[in-house]
Every structure is written in structure tokens, then in C-alpha cells.
Amino acid sequence: MPTTDTERAIEAVWRIESARLIAGLARVVGDVGLAEELAQDALVAALEQWPTEGIPAKPGAWLMATAKHRGIDQLRRRSVLQRKHDEIGRDMDVQQRIALAGLAATADDDVGDDLLRLIFTACHPVLTRDARVALTLRLLGGLTTDEIARAYLVPESTIAQRIVRAKRTLSEAHVPFEVPSGSDLSPRLASVLEVVYLIFNEGYAATTGPEWMRPGLCDAALRLGRMLEVIAPSEPEVHGLAALMEIQASRLGARVGRSGEPIRLMDQDRGRWDKVLIRRGLLALDRAERLGGALGPYALQAAIAACHARARRPEDTDWARIVALYDALAQLTPSSIVELNRAVAVGMAYGPSAGLAALEPLDGEPSLREYHLLPAVRGDLLVRAGRPEEAAIAFRAAAALTSNERERALLLGRAGDAAASAPSSG
């Protein structure tokens, strides 16, 4: 097999196995940074050996065994060095023997539990939001530092520093490698789901840069969502988030034209929506609903997405149900963004005048002052209300607020169309 093919195979194996490998090692050594270091050592060994020796029948097991051997050697070297300097006491000696015994034993047991521990650790609230996102993409999403930096349009050194600081913070804070229980579980799970959804959203609608979407981030978030479904099957919101992302991702291929220009939801060719992803999303939503109780915020958003997915044509969309779902979402997690989305649904269900009335209370909302979608929504409603001159002003205001080049071009194009359709004053 040519070296390039082997390297591609190694990369594919790493994408699949790295999270499980790091999770299994972290359980034993109790340190996420050291676990990733050992996993990277195993990857280097694979890059050195597999091109000449061939890819093993069980590559994941090979990587784990190699990482364990490297870990044992490293712990032994540390123990010898500490003894040479007379700095190792009885307690440290006991800890070293425990660690060596743990590494010598299998690290493949309880893979699901290990992955769950790892994602709760990577998303620990002691870390900043940016650090949680970077560390999760690195440890669980299988992305390199360079890939994360390119996805977020920041220098690679910035991402590297975030990851290094995150691992140091976890170590210094003595964050236990465990799944929280009791009253600690809910807020920690919320942090995990927030991070995964942040990653997906940045891929679905990039905040900055020349492209409207970054599908690689959506793919990473989908992998994490599916992983969570397997390892936390009794949590309704895990299924709710998975459902939301699957259904939203089904539209990715239809959201841009041939030149990469954005295509709005109502203008998309629904024949290009991915039916497999829609089916997966609807099944995940069904799992969330069957677990009982009131739907959480992710499941409610998934139910809204399902209304679109089930409509064969835009005019078949059940907008009244979407309004009701947004009402429920607003009660559960009140926010100006929810109210803005609700105003869109009201405008579609009951006419543009009703939508503009629903939008009025948001005009003075401080959190929306720099949010480009507020004037964009107003512009859309004004076009439908037959007020093109005002719509053009709103679209231009929205274009001035967005940092995404594709979206700015779309909004300026809509401003031009609105202005062109306005009646001549002469």
C-alpha cells in the first residue's frame, strides 16, 4: 500500500479512535493532558510503523496497547528520577504503583463511561466557553489545532494556547475525571450540550469570514451528538439536541448555490434536503418524547425544525404549530432571540403586520442592538407588507452589522431588490 494511502488510513483511524483512546487513558492516569500526550505518542508510533509493517487488524487496540506501554515507561522513568533525587516518598511510591497497575490492566473497559467522563471534563464550567469549545474539538471532535484555528479564523497559536491553558486549568483545579451525579449533573450536562451546539451553530452559520457555512464543524458536532446519544441514552435533551442537529444538517447541501451564495429556507430546493438525516433526526426526537416529561429547549427547537422537515413545500409548513412551540420555548428559556424567531413565525402564520407588531417590543432590546438578524427580519416583513423603501433601509442596516461576507452580499442584494421594486416618486 502506498505511504499516502496508509497515512490517509491512519488519519481515518485516528478520527474514529482518538476520543476513546484518550478517554480510556485519562481514566487510568487521571490527567487529560497526560492522556492526550500518550495518545499522540501512539499516533507517532503508528505513522512510523504502519507504512512498513502494515495496518494492524485491530488498529484501535494497537494504539491503546502502544499508548499504555509508553505510559508505563514514562511513569517508571519519573519514578526512577524522583528516587535519584530522594524526592519520592512512600505515598508517591504507592501512587506510582497504582498508576502502573492501572496502565498494565486493560484500558478498554467501560468505553462509554470513559467517553462520558471525558466530555464532562472537557466541558467543565471551570473553563471559559472558548476553551471548552477548543478542548472538546481537539479531544472528542478529532480535529487538529490547525483545523480548529482555520474553522474559527483565528491564529493557530491562539487555539494552541487555549488548549494548553485549558488542560493546565483542569489539572490545577483538580477536576475529577468523572460523570457528575445528583444535583451537579443537570448544570454540567447543560454545559456539555451548550458546547456541542455552539460548535454546530458556528458551522451552520459562520459568524465571520468569506463562507456562510463551515460543514466540518457541523460534522464534528454531529459526531459528538451521536456519541452522547449512545453513552447517555436516558437523557431526553441529549436526544433533543441530536434531533435538532440532524434535521438542521439535512439542509446543508441546499443552503448554498453553486457559487457559495446563501439560499434562504423558503427558497431552498427541498428535494436536496438529506432524507437520511431527516429520518435520523425525527427518530431522535421520538426518543426524546418517549422518555416522558415536558420537552426541553433542544427538543422544542427540534420539534420546530421537524415542522419544516415534514413540509414538502414551503406553503405546507404548519406555522401556527411553530408559533405555539416558540411560545413554549419562550416560557422555558425566555430570550430576545427566541422572541425574534417567534416574530418570524407569527408573520408567516398570521401575516406580516402581525409579525411587525410582534417585533416592536424588541426594538429597544440592548442585546439585539448589534444583532444583524433583527433588521433583516424587519426587512423581510416590510417587503411582504408592501413597504419596499423601508425594507431596503432595514436590509442595508442588517448588512452593516454582519461580519460574514456571504451574508452581507445577500442582504445588500435584498436591499437592492427592495429599492428597485419601490414605486417611483416621479
Per-residue pLDDT of the chain (426 residues; tens, 9 = 90+): 445 777 888 887 887 788 888 888 888 888 888 888 888 888 888 888 988 888 888 888 888 888 888 777 776 666 554 554 444 444 444 444 444 444 444 444 454 678 888 999 999 999 999 999 999 989 988 788 988 888 888 899 999 999 999 999 999 999 988 888 777 788 889 899 999 999 999 999 988 888 889 998 999 999 999 989 988 899 999 999 999 999 999 999 999 998 889 999 999 999 999 999 999 999 999 999 999 888 999 999 999 999 999 999 999 999 999 999 999 999 999 999 999 999 999 999 999 999 999 999 999 899 899 999 999 999 999 999 999 999 999 999 999 999 899 999 999 999 999 999 988 654
Q: What is the pLDDT of residue 61?
A: 85
For residue 224, give every residue at least 6 positions away whose Cβ sits within 8 Å of its Cβ, in sequence order, or none. Answer: 119, 136, 140, 141, 196, 199
Kindly state the DSSP code that residue 254 receives in the 8-state scheme: G
- 379: CB partners within 8 A, 6+ apart: 391, 392, 393, 394, 395, 398, 411, 414, 415, 418
| pLDDT at res. 94 | 42
Please give the pLDDT value at position 86: 47
pLDDT given for residue 88 in this prediction: 42
Name the pTM for this structure.
0.80
**In terms of Cα–Cα distance, which of 171, 150, 153, 169 is closest to 161?**
169
User: Structural domain boundaries of the chain?
Assistant: 1-109, 370-426
DSSP characters over 311-369: -SSGGG--HHHHHHHHHHHHHHS--HHHHHHHHHHHHHHH-HHHHHHHHGGGTT-GGGT
Predicted pLDDT at 18: 84
What is the amino acid identity at position 97? R
Specify burial of residue 424 (Cβ count, 10 A radius: 0-12, 13-18, 19+): exposed
Q: Which residues of 115-142 are buried (b: 16+ CB within 10 A; e: fewer)?
A: bbbbbbbbbbeebeeebbbbbbbbbbbb
Are the C-beta atoms of residues 112 and 234 closer than 8 Å to each other? no
> Rounded CA gap, 282 and 309, in Å?
9
Q: What is the pLDDT of residue 245?
A: 98
Per-residue pLDDT, 101? 46
Nearest to 117, CA basis, from 231, 10, 242, 250: 231
**Amino acid sitting at position 325:** L
**CB 184 within 8 Å of CB 162:** no
